[in-house]
Amino acid sequence: MVRIIAGARKGRVLVTPEGSATRPTADRVRQALFDMLAHAPWGGADLLAGAHVLDAFAGTGALGLEALSRGAGHATFFETDRAALAALRANIRACGWENRCTVIARDVTAPPRIKADQTPAGPVPASLVFVDPPYRMTLPARAL
């Protein structure tokens, strides 16, 4: 069972797709990550307050939704897997954050190109980026 750990939606259970194709970031790992962000000399409560976060390999959206629960203003999610996209959209709806989220059904290593005279959809730029790609793939280097 995956749940939001803290903040406005603390305890909310997140939908996860069947099978092992989507591996949500474990509760303990997310807790440790957000504790580090909150207590780092360059971090603190202001780091998330109103921030636009990008969840690069979203899956269920656990990282981005956790950030929203803790005070981020907007989250953009990149995901390609159909089952994960369905779970992600269900989780956003269950939290009531449709107006605070942008879901891009596209590979984050090949984001949409934005021309100089275009305004991209959704708020930009992201001030905090979560990159937690699937295991056993060459995605970390390609994403960075």
Distance CA 73, CA 34 (A): 16
User: Is residue 102 a contact partner of residue 77, using CB atoms and an 8 Å limit?
Assistant: yes
Beta strand ranges found along 20-98 (DSSP E): 52-55, 74-78
**CA quadruple 24, 99, 81, 18: dihedral, nearest 10:** 50
Amino acid identity, residue 88?
Answer: L
Domains of the chain with CATH codes: 2-143 (3.40.50.150)
pLDDT, mean of residues 91-118: 84
Q: Where does the pLDDT of residue 117 fall: very low under 50, low under 70, confident under 90, or very high at 90 and above?
A: low
Q: Is the pLDDT of residue 77 over 50?
A: yes
